[in-house]
Amino acid sequence: MQETRIVVLGDVFGDTGRKTLAKTMPEIVEKYQPDWIIANGENISGGNGISKKHANFLLQIGVDVITTGNHLFARNDWQEVTASVKNILRPHNMLPDNFPSKGIKRFSKEGKQDIQVMNLCGRVFMEPCFCPFQTFDRLFAELDSSVPLIVDFHAEATSEKQAFGWHAAGRASAVYGTHTHVQTSDARIITSNGRNTAFITDIGMTGSRDGIIGVDRDTIIDRFLGGYSDRFTAGDLPGKAEGAFFLIDGSGAVQTESFRFFAF
C-alpha cells in the first residue's frame, strides 16, 4: 500500500500567525516531508475570518488545503472567498447542502495519493448547526473508502471532539480537533472494526506564543477584570506553530504525533 504523509496546522491567527507560519514552514517540511499540508485559516485575517488575499498566502507558502470554522462567516466576503479559492472548505454542517461551497472534497496532486478532507463543526457551546455525527455518516456513505479521509472537527468541548473521534474511528483515516487554540497531549491511534484512525482532541494554533489563545493578552485580561475590552487583536511575536503529523498506509493510520515549532 502507498504511504501518505500529512501535516495539519492549527488555526493561523492574524498577522502574527502568518509571519510565524512563513518562518517555520521550511522547518516543518524538512522534518516531516509531507505529501499534503492542511491548515485551518478561519482566524488568519485580523483574527476573525479569512480574506481571499490571506487564503492565497497560505497556498503560496505551501498549504494544499484550507479548512475553516464558525469564524469563516464573520466577514461579508466569505462567499466570494469560498467560490474563488479552489482549495478552501467551510464547515459542511453549518449550512444546507444546496449552498455552492462545501465542507467535503477529494484532492489530487501529481505523484501523490489522493486524499479526501472533511470539515465539520461541533454543537456544544457553538453556533447552531446540523448534527456533525449524522452529517459525517451521510457524507461518508458517498465517499471512496479506499482513499484516505482526513477530518477537521472544529469544536469547543473536548468531550464532543473525543466522542466524534470514536464515532468516526475505523472510517476516517485521521480526525483532529481545532478551535480552542490549546494543543492537547493525546495524539494517538484508535482502532475500530480492525482499522486504525489517527486522533488528537485539539492540534493547537499558529500565532502568538505569549498571547492568550492568539489574542493580545492585556486585552483579554481587561475583559476578565472589567467585563469590557477593546477589539481583539493578535498578540505579538514571538510565535509558535502547532499541529500534528499523520502517516497513513493505504487508508488507515500507522503513526501520529503532535508538534510545536517556535519563531522569532
**Which residues does the annotation mark as catalytic?**
71
Q: Treating both helix axes as pointing N-terminal to C-terminal, what angle do 158-168 and 132-140 enclose, rounded to 10 degrees?
A: 20
Cell numbers that stand for 53 in this block: 488575499
Give me the DSSP letters along 127-172: -----HHHHHHHHHTTS-TTS-EEEEEE-S-HHHHHHHHHHHBTTB
Rounded CA separation 248/246 (Å) = 6
- Are 206 and 9 within 8 A, CB to CB? yes
Rounded CA separation 64/4 (Å) = 14
Cell numbers that stand for 61 in this block: 507558502
User: Quick one: which of 169, 175, 159 has its CA closest to 191?
Assistant: 169
Cα separation values, 191 from 6, 194, 254, Å? 19, 6, 11
Rounded CA separation 117/239 (Å) = 27
User: Quick one: which of 100, 101, 98 has its CA closest to 72?
Assistant: 101
Residue with cell 449552498: 99
As a residue count, the chain comes to: 264
